[in-house]
Amino acid sequence: MHTVAKMQFKHIKNTAMFTQTDLQQLNAKGISIGQIEEQLAYFEKGFPYLPVYASASVEKGIKCIPTYEQVYLLKKWEAYLKTDKKTVKFVPASGAASRMFKDLFEFLDSDSSEPESLSLQEFFSRITDFAFYDSLEAACKKNEGKCISSLCAAHQYKKIIENLLLDKGLNYGNLPKGLILFHSYPEGPRTAMEEHLVEGALHACNEMKEVTVHFTVSPEHRELFRQLAEQKAPVYAEQFGVKYRIDFSEQKSSTDTIAVDSENRPFRDDNGLLFFRPGGHGALIENLNDIDADVIFIKNVDNITPGYIKPITVHYKNLLAGVLVDYQDTIFHYLNLIDSGKYDHEQLIDMLYFLQDELCIKNPETKILEDVELVLYIKSKLNRPLRVCGMVRIQGEPGGGPFLAVNADHTVSPQILESSQIDLNDPGKRRLFKQGTHFNPVDLVCGVKNYKGEKFDLLRHVDKNTGFISLKSKNGKELKALELPGLWNGAMSDWNTVFVEIPIETFNPVKTVNDLLREEHQ
């Protein structure tokens, strides 16, 4: 085994830098020689910017659905849920909550004993408004012998933070967001994970009253998630009259990427072992690919609302799903018609207009194609995974969002891009970026089976040239890290994409702990 691996290394520069231990390490992680070779090549050559044709807008590429059409689409989704098709709610939930508490950690490590920043002052002045207040109060009484108000009166603010963040108390500094108490209710507080169970019951419940929710988690927290699901799922199952099917997966070690030093040589830790880092959320395309479902909803774990706001969220979840089913009906009809051979030139033109006007896929060369070539082109473009993406109007500076981008085959199609994928040093591209009217809240509904009911291999639709390289450090040493194409960016680059405008009320992420004090989370 190792002999073969060594032979394959001949294509890599400086093969002498790899040892037998390295090969064993790669084998244990399930990473092939070819993957390492590809990753090292990206460090050498970098990633190209993606050519941008235009920013997507309601005038070009983003659908704004009128009320009368919404009624029709909502009924389509309602009818779909009564079929034997399988729906899954997919929640990336492995991210640590440590960044949520950045200001609190800095205060804990500082020489100051008083909360001087505005964010710290808001945290302490409104501490009773947090859903975790009662749990924190109990931890403070147990560990410090004082309640929170007494600790504040004694200016022992850091004791409160310790009981919130460290393992002697709630340990929130080491937990993922999914396990943090987000919202208060008369019957008791709910974690972000629980809110997703509730949301799933409201928009992804099939005719058999089953709700399937899949969480991606980190290995060290999987058991905590499992215990919480075991404890809480029966409560919500009874409350909403549903049966939950909850499962978990972890980011595969085979999707980790090798780190390099400033000379693009493999970075080694203090023990001399190759150092790998998680490949970013784009690695979750592997997890998504493993799910057996017809329709998959994707939403970040921290973008969740309390009960009184859920109706508008659920409405637009159902609407996006109705759009997906409606587009699939048309796409599947066209593909079956092509397979039958019983089509004429006018029907091919209808299909071409559908590609251009509905899927926003442009290709000027179609004007010179003969019918036989046109059929092959249309089928190749229609027969791929489909996603419908909610897009929210920008309030403030533009960020990652919807664009019409130029693909490797020179066609133009809708893509979700991050600023790092666009050459902002080019005045024209920078202008297009600043013209953006919407951003991506990560609210997706995905159709992952083809017109024959067969599951797409999602790994075949990734644009590997859309990753990026960032500077990090390990034990005080600088290194370069490689991030795989983002899950909703390059990992879905080759999907058909439909952008739909949804209201800002559906987007309520929790990036800092004080976001939980916003009206939308109270």
pLDDT of residue 397: 59
Who wins on pLDDT, 476 or 86? Answer: 86
Per-residue model confidence as pLDDT tens digits over 442-461 = 999 999 999 999 999 999 99
| Burial class (CB within 10 angstroms; exposed 0-12, middle 13-18, buried 19+) of 185 | exposed
Distance between CA atoms of residues 40 and 264, nearest Å: 7
What are residue 25's DSSP bridge partners? none
Which fold would CATH assign to domain 76-97+179-505?
Spore Coat Polysaccharide Biosynthesis Protein SpsA; Chain A (3.90.550)
Question: What's the mean pLDDT when you consider all of the chain?
Answer: 92
In angstroms, the CA 462 to CA 311 distance is: 34
* pLDDT computed for residue 147 by the predictor: 97
* 35, HSE (Cβ side, Cα atoms, 13 Å): 18
Tokens of 103: 């200001």
| pLDDT tens sequence across 248-271 | 999 999 999 999 999 999 999 988
Helices (H), 354-417: 371-382
Does residue 16 register a pLDDT over 70? no
- pLDDT at residue 161 in the model: 97
Task: Dig out the tokens for 109 from the structure.
Answer: 């490590």
Q: Angle at CA 114, nearest 5°, toward 110 and 120?
A: 85
Confidence of residue 408 (pLDDT cuts 50, 70, 90): confident
Task: Decide which of 3 and 522 is more confident.
Answer: 522
- The 10s digit of each residue's pLDDT in 295-343 is 999 999 999 999 999 999 999 999 999 999 999 999 999 999 999 999 9
Determine what percent of the chain is predicted with pLDDT higher than 90: 84
107-108-112-118 Cα dihedral, nearest 10 degrees: 20
Instruction: Give the confidence band of 3 by pLDDT, cuts at 50, 70, 90.
Output: very low
pLDDT for res 399: 63
Residues 108 and 102: their CA atoms lie apart, in Å, by 10
Helices (H), 115-186: 118-125, 133-144, 148-153, 157-165
The Cα 127–Cα 338 span in angstroms is 62
Tokens (6 digits) for 359? 């899927």
Alpha carbon of 151 to those of 89, 144, 161: distances in Å? 42, 9, 11
Output Rg (C-alpha) for the chain, integer angstroms. Answer: 25
Spatial distance between the Cα atoms of 320 and 283, rounded to a whole number of angstroms: 25
Estimate the crossing angle of helix 371-382 against helix 310-340, to 10 degrees.
150
Q: Where are the alpha helices (DSSP H) in 397-486?
A: 427-434
The answer on pLDDT for 4 being more than 50 is: no
Provide the 8-state DSSP code for 12.
Answer: S
The pLDDT tens digits for 382-404 are 999 999 999 999 976 556 799 99
pLDDT of 11 > 80? The answer is no
Rounded to whole angstroms, the Cα distance separating 48 from 17 reads: 28
pLDDT higher than 50, residue 9: no
Q: Mean per-residue pLDDT for 476-494? A: 93
Residue 14 has pLDDT above 50, yes or no: no
Which residue ranges make up each domain of the chain? Answer: 1-31, 76-97+179-505, 98-174
- Containing 191, the helix (H) or strand (E) segment is strand 190-191
